[in-house]
Structure 1
Amino acid sequence: MNASTVEGEDARELRQFLNSWLIPNDTREPTETLPALAADAGAWKAAFARVPRPRGRAQIEQLMAFRDDLRADVAERSSDRLAVWLERSPLTVQVVGGEVAFTGDGSSRSRLLETAAGLVMEGRWRRLRSCPDCKWVFYDQSRNNSRTWCSMYAGSTGRACGSIAKVKRARGRQAA
């Protein structure tokens, strides 16, 4: 498997952050989980081991705005909003042990920004996708980077949006 198709811990953690806004399968109502995660140190550490926990309402609100912009970029297959955040919060770029490393101010937003910039640099940002149905952000590990839905099968990582869409399309053809 090509290295760019392997998600990695960095992309998994960023994806988990992006999915702190979600549409649960049971209620189908948009749900915000970031403030509750930030309020519980144990839950934050379990979800984002390498990201400092935000302190105070202002930091949490800024983190939610950052997340919403990144989600919009993923959905639009763009990095325009990410570029704006990088202009607002520049990162220091260094070569450490033959590898490029980004360093920010140590905040949770900065740590997540470092991860996103690293994914862009490695060509893995384009592998983050947003399901057109449930809006779940997933990492496309397909060889040709063409996956559309979160999942074709119901399970813990999706609601089988691909199967649902295909059934709707087939029923539409049958009705016509």
Structure 2
Amino acid sequence: MIFTWTPHRFVGGALALDVANSVILRHEPDGRSDRFAVPEQLGAFADAASRLSAERGRFDVLQPVRPQNAPLFFELREAIDTYFRQRVLGEEGRHQLAALLEAAAAALRAAPGDDSLEAATARSALTLVCEPCPERMKICGHCGWLFIDRSKNRSRTWCDMAVCGNRVKANRHYHRKRKEVSP
């Protein structure tokens, strides 16, 4: 399926997290959707990330993943998701970190240049590993995306208030009103 990359798709706060979040409903077998399943989406993502990523100041225009590097890029994406998700849950281990470091190294070695999506994603992931406040990384309570909470009081619950936050609040409101009406 082809779709448009909107600002909502870049709410992770880091390119590496936005790449990991390209799998929608990752842990729901019936609802899971990989936004990179269509190869052209990688190019569209690179273009959109150049304009919308929180780290866009670190690169000019990102070049799409070269077809021969796609397997390495997908391995990096999965290693990013596994490591940081486990880190947020307090279950990180050296094996997940080793897998992330190996995937990042492989992507950097294969990348045609610093402006490639695979190199920028690897550098973003390595920067996050050294994040001075790892407790700021969270998992959205609605969609399960990874994001960095940059709010002053560290109270952000959803990846995007305008999307996930509104859905949760609307759902609560619906059920509350339904309870009031039912006998």
TM bucket (normalised to shorter chain) is: 0.5 to 0.7
* CA–CA distance in structure 1, aligned partners of residues 145 and 159 of structure 2: 6
Q: Normalization by structure 1: what TM-score?
A: 0.58
* CA–CA distance in structure 2, aligned partners of residues 89 and 118 of structure 1: 11
Q: Deviations over 1:111-158 (max 9, x none)?
A: 31211111232425543322143112222123343433335x5x3x42
* CA–CA distance in structure 2, aligned partners of residues 40 and 169 of structure 1: 37
* CA–CA distance in structure 2, aligned partners of residues 88 and 43 of structure 1: 23
Amino acid at match of 2:64: R
1:22 alignment partner in structure 2: 24
- Any stretches of 5+ residues in structure 2 without a counterpart? 1-10, 51-58, 112-116
Does residue 147 in structure 1 map to residue 156 in structure 2? yes
CA 1:126–1:106 in structure 2 vs 1: closer, same or farther (change >3 Å)? farther
1:163 alignment partner in structure 2: 169
1:98 alignment partner in structure 2: none
CA 1:59–1:52 in structure 2 vs 1: closer, same or farther (change >3 Å)? same
1:73 to 83, 94, 110: 83
Quick one: percent identity of the two aligned structures? 20
* CA–CA distance in structure 2, aligned partners of residues 21 and 65 of structure 1: 13
Contact 2:13–2:147, Cα closer than 8 Å, also in 1: no
CA RMSD for the aligned pairs?
4.0
Q: Deviations over 1:82-109 (max 9, x none)?
A: 4422145549xxxxxxxxxxxx336243
- Once the two structures are TM-superposed, the CA of residue 18 in structure 1 deviates from its matched residue by 1.9
* CA–CA distance in structure 2, aligned partners of residues 88 and 164 of structure 1: 40
* CA–CA distance in structure 2, aligned partners of residues 82 and 169 of structure 1: 42
1:125-144 matched pairs, under 5 angstroms: 125-144=134-153
Q: Deviations over 1:29-67 (max 9, x none)?
A: 22111243x4257513323334442222x6323322322
1:84-99 matched pairs, under 5 angstroms: 84-87=99-102, 89-90=104-105
- Once the two structures are TM-superposed, the CA of residue 161 in structure 1 deviates from its matched residue by 5.5
Q: SS of the counterpart of 2:138?
A: strand
Amino acid at match of 2:31: E
Query: Hey, which of these two has a bigger chunk of helix by percent?
Result: 2
Q: Normalization by structure 2: what TM-score?
A: 0.56
- Any stretches of 5+ residues in structure 1 without a counterpart? 1-8, 92-103
CA 1:75–1:42 in structure 2 vs 1: closer, same or farther (change >3 Å)? closer
Contact 1:22–1:32, Cα closer than 8 Å, also in 2: yes
1:1-40 matched pairs, under 5 angstroms: 11-23=13-25, 29-36=31-38, 38-40=39-41
CA 1:128–1:161 in structure 2 vs 1: closer, same or farther (change >3 Å)? farther
1:6 alignment partner in structure 2: none
Q: SS of the counterpart of 1:43?
A: helix
Contact 2:16–2:125, Cα closer than 8 Å, also in 1: yes
Amino acid at match of 1:163: K
